[in-house]
Amino acid sequence: MSTNPPGAPRGHPLAAVWQLPGRIRRGRPRRLLLRGLIAAVLSLVVLRLIPGTPAAPADVTGLILWFVLTGRKDLVPRPDAVRRPGDNGRYAPGDSDRRVSAGL
C-alpha cells in the first residue's frame, strides 16, 4: 500500500486518511474497537440519562475527544514519522542502529 493517495505529492493532507486502514490493521485493532465500543456505550448512557439538557452534547463531545486522543496509541506510527532515540527506544524503519530497539 502506498503511503500517499495516488498522484498526490508527499505530505498531502489526505495521506493520513489514506494510511488509516493500514495503521489500524497493523496496530492494536481489538483495543481500538474496545475503546470505540466504550465511547459509544457511554454516549448512549449519557443521552439516556440526561436527554435534552445542555450538558448532553458536551459530554458526548468529550467522549469523542477521549476516543480520538487515546486511540492514537493503538495505531502503528506513520511510515514517514521520525523516531528519536529517547522515544521508547524505537527508531524509524531503515535506521542503521538496531541495538537500542532490540534491547541490546
Task: Please state, as a whole number, how many other Cβ atoms lie within 10 Å of the Cβ of residue 89.
Answer: 12
Residues 59, 23: Cα–Cα separation, whole Å: 28
Q: Which of 80, 76, 72 is nearest to 9 (CA)?
A: 80
In this prediction, residue 86 carries a pLDDT of: 58
In this prediction, residue 61 carries a pLDDT of: 93
Residues 25, 21: Cα–Cα separation, whole Å: 6
**What is the mean pLDDT for each group of 10 consecutive residues in the chain (104 residues)?**
62 74 82 91 93 89 91 75 57 47 48
In this prediction, residue 13 carries a pLDDT of: 73
In this prediction, residue 15 carries a pLDDT of: 74
Residue 74 is classified by DSSP as G
